[in-house]
Amino acid sequence: MAENFVVVDGGVVAPKGFKSNGHKDRKYGAALIYSETDAVAAGVFTTNKVFAHPVALSKDVLVNNNVFRAIVANSGNANCFTKGGMEDAELLVKKAAELLKIPENQVLSASTGVIGRKMPMDIITLEVERAFENMDLENSNENASKAIMTTDAFPKTVAVEFEVKDKKIRIGGIAKGAGMIAPNMLHATMLGFITTDIEISKEDLTNSLQKATDESFNNAVVDGDMSTNDTVYVLANAQSGVKYTDCKDEFDEALTYVSKELAKMIVSDGEGAKKLIEATVYGAETKEDAKKASMSIVRSLLLKTAFFGADPNWGRIAAAVGYSGAEMDMANFDIIIGDISSEKQAILVKAGEQIADCGTPELKLAEEIMKEDKIKIIVDLKMGSFENTAFGCDLGYEYVKINSEYTT
Amino acid sequence: MAENFVVVDGGVVAPKGFKSNGHKDRKYGAALIYSETDAVAAGVFTTNKVFAHPVALSKDVLVNNNVFRAIVANSGNANCFTKGGMEDAELLVKKAAELLKIPENQVLSASTGVIGRKMPMDIITLEVERAFENMDLENSNENASKAIMTTDAFPKTVAVEFEVKDKKIRIGGIAKGAGMIAPNMLHATMLGFITTDIEISKEDLTNSLQKATDESFNNAVVDGDMSTNDTVYVLANAQSGVKYTDCKDEFDEALTYVSKELAKMIVSDGEGAKKLIEATVYGAETKEDAKKASMSIVRSLLLKTAFFGADPNWGRIAAAVGYSGAEMDMANFDIIIGDISSEKQAILVKAGEQIADCGTPELKLAEEIMKEDKIKIIVDLKMGSFENTAFGCDLGYEYVKINSEYTT
Nearest CB neighbour to A400, from listed B308, B318, B406: B308
Nearest CB neighbour to B406, from listed A49, A50, A306: A306
Report the C-alpha gap between A347 and A6 in whole angstroms: 34
Report the C-alpha gap between B129 and A177 in whole angstroms: 55
| pLDDT of res. B407 | 47
Angle ∠(B352,B355,B356) on CA atoms, nearest 5: 125
Question: Which of the residues B189, B206, B213, B231 is marked catalytic?
Answer: B189
* B60 Cβ contact partners less than 8 Å away, ≥ 6 residues apart: none
* Contact status of A98 with chain B (Cβ, < 8 Å): no
| Contact check, Cβ <8 Å, A228/B318 | yes
A194, A258 in Cβ contact below 8 A? yes
Interface test with B, best of A296, A301, A395 (most B CBs within 10 A): A301
* Contact status of B315 with chain A (Cβ, < 8 Å): yes
CB burial of residue B297 (10 Å; 0-12, 13-18, 19+): buried
Cα-based distances in Å from A302 to A36, A73, A309: 49, 35, 11
Domains, in order of start, for chain B: 5-269 (3.60.70.12), 276-405 (3.10.20.340)
Nearest CB neighbour to B322, from listed A228, A300, A306: A228
Report the C-alpha gap between A372 and B122 in whole angstroms: 36
Chain B nearest C-alpha distance from A164 (Å): 42
Report the C-alpha gap between A209 and A43 in whole angstroms: 8
> Residues of chain B with pLDDT > 70: what percent?
91
Question: What tens digit of pLDDT does each residue of B218-259 get?
Answer: 888 655 556 788 899 999 999 999 999 999 999 999 999 999
| pLDDT of res. A398 | 67
**What's the length of chain B?**
408
| Contact check, Cβ <8 Å, A302/B358 | no
Detail the residues of A annotated as belonging to a binding site: 150, 176, 189, 271, 403, 408
State the Cα torsion B61-B65-B69-B74 to the nearest 10°: 10
* A263 Cβ contact partners less than 8 Å away, ≥ 6 residues apart: A175, A216, A217, A219, A220, A391
* Contact status of A49 with chain B (Cβ, < 8 Å): yes
Q: Using an 8 Å CB-CB cutoff, list chain A residues near B309.
A: 403-406, 408
DSSP 3-state percent helix, strand, coil across chain A (nearest 5): 35, 30, 35
B388, B281 in Cβ contact below 8 A? yes
Chain A nearest C-alpha distance from B74 (Å): 18
Detail the residues of B annotated as belonging to a binding site for substrate: 150, 176, 189, 271, 403, 408
Kindly provide the residue ranges of all beta strands, DSSP E only, lying in B201-301, ordered along the sequence: 231-236, 276-284
Listed as ranges, residues in chain A with pLDDT below 70 are: 1-3, 178-189, 221-226, 270-272, 397-408
Listed as ranges, residues in chain B with pLDDT below 70 are: 1-3, 178-189, 221-226, 270-272, 397-408
The answer for A 247-286 residues in CB contact with B (under 8 A) is none
| pLDDT of res. A313 | 77
| Contact check, Cβ <8 Å, B225/A316 | yes
CB burial of residue A357 (10 Å; 0-12, 13-18, 19+): middle
| pLDDT of res. B183 | 31
| Contact check, Cβ <8 Å, B116/A406 | no
Task: Say how many CB pairs under 8 Å bridge A and B.
Answer: 217
| Contact check, Cβ <8 Å, B322/A226 | yes
DSSP 3-state percent helix, strand, coil across chain B (nearest 5): 35, 30, 35
* Contact status of B201 with chain A (Cβ, < 8 Å): no
| Contact check, Cβ <8 Å, B224/A301 | yes
| pLDDT of res. A72 | 98
| Contact check, Cβ <8 Å, A50/B319 | yes
Cα-based distances in Å from B117 to A321, A370, B76, B253, B268: 18, 18, 10, 40, 29
| pLDDT of res. A404 | 62
Report the C-alpha gap between B277 and A197 in whole angstroms: 51
| pLDDT of res. B226 | 64
Chain B nearest C-alpha distance from A92 (Å): 21
Nearest CB neighbour to A322, from listed B48, B116, B400: B48
* Contact status of B406 with chain A (Cβ, < 8 Å): yes
Q: With a threshold of 0.90, does the pTM exceed it?
A: no
* B126 Cβ contact partners less than 8 Å away, ≥ 6 residues apart: none
| pLDDT of res. A271 | 61
| Contact check, Cβ <8 Å, B323/A408 | no
Question: What tens digit of pLDDT does each residue of B347-405 get?
Answer: 999 998 888 877 889 889 998 998 888 999 999 999 999 999 998 888 776 666 665 66
Report the C-alpha gap between B408 and B405 in whole angstroms: 5
For B182, nearest residue in chain A (alpha carbons):
A323
CB burial of residue A203 (10 Å; 0-12, 13-18, 19+): exposed
Report the C-alpha gap between A174 and A53 in whole angstroms: 22
Kindly provide the residue ranges of all beta strands, DSSP E only, lying in A308-385, ordered along the sequence: 334-339, 345-350, 353-354, 374-380
Residues of A known to be catalytic: 189
